[in-house]
Amino acid sequence: MRFHFPLEGLLHVRSLLEDQARDRLEQCMMRIGALEHSLAEAHEWSEKTARIRSSKKRLPATELQFIEAVLRQTETAIGQCLQQKQQEEERARVLRAAYLLARRDRKTVSTIRDNALRQYEIEQSRRLQSEMDEVFLGKLLHQHNRVRLAPTEASAEENQ
């Protein structure tokens, strides 16, 4: 008889939910990583542009205006990027909590399954031992009866 866990479907569903929650969290973490990369590039660009502006080399007024405009746009982009990053980090916090809950739920059902499997294996071992005991006792009883009947059969042959 094979092991059958009645909640196998629930365990499968819980595993799928855990996988989905983990995937959503990983995607959010990748977006945060991409935003951090964009922020690093924007800061680097801003620093380079600021260095050009503050260099001792005299620049034409139009170039200075262009550099100032680029710096303003970069700072605005950095602000927006930081805001998006904060939103994604909050989303990641919520997704992490959802993932941990889904993981806990799956582990609970998995533990129930493991306990049921262990109990099944114990029962199977007991059944097997019981069957082996019955076979052994049957052989012992058969041997005992043969020993008891052997003198009776010998005397019956002598009487003939």
pTM above 0.85, yes or no: no
Cβ–Cβ < 8 Å for 92, 32: yes
Q: Which structural domain, as residue segments, surrounds residue 105?
A: 8-159
CATH of the domain at 139: 1.10.287
Q: Report the number of distinct structural domains present in the chain.
A: 1
pLDDT at residue 155 tops 80: no
Residue 13 pLDDT > 60: yes
Give the pLDDT of residue 151: 67
Residue 117 lies in a domain: yes
Residue 2 in domain: no
> How far is residue 47's CA from residue 71's CA, in Å, rounded to a whole number?
9
pLDDT tens digits for range 137-150: 888 888 888 887 77
pLDDT of amino acid 49: 83
Surface-to-core class of residue 121, CB atoms within 10 Å of its CB (0-12 exposed, 13-18 middle, 19+ buried): exposed
Note whether residue 3 is domain-resident: no
Query: Which of 120, 113, 123, 91 lies closest to 25, judged by CA?
Result: 91
Supply the pLDDT for residue 138: 86
By mean pLDDT, which of 6-20, 22-36, 52-66 is the weakest? 52-66
Q: How far apart are CA 3 and CA 8, in angstroms?
A: 11
Does any domain span residue 150?
yes
Q: Alpha-carbon distance 23 to 2, whole Å?
A: 34
Q: Is 1 within the bounds of a domain? A: no
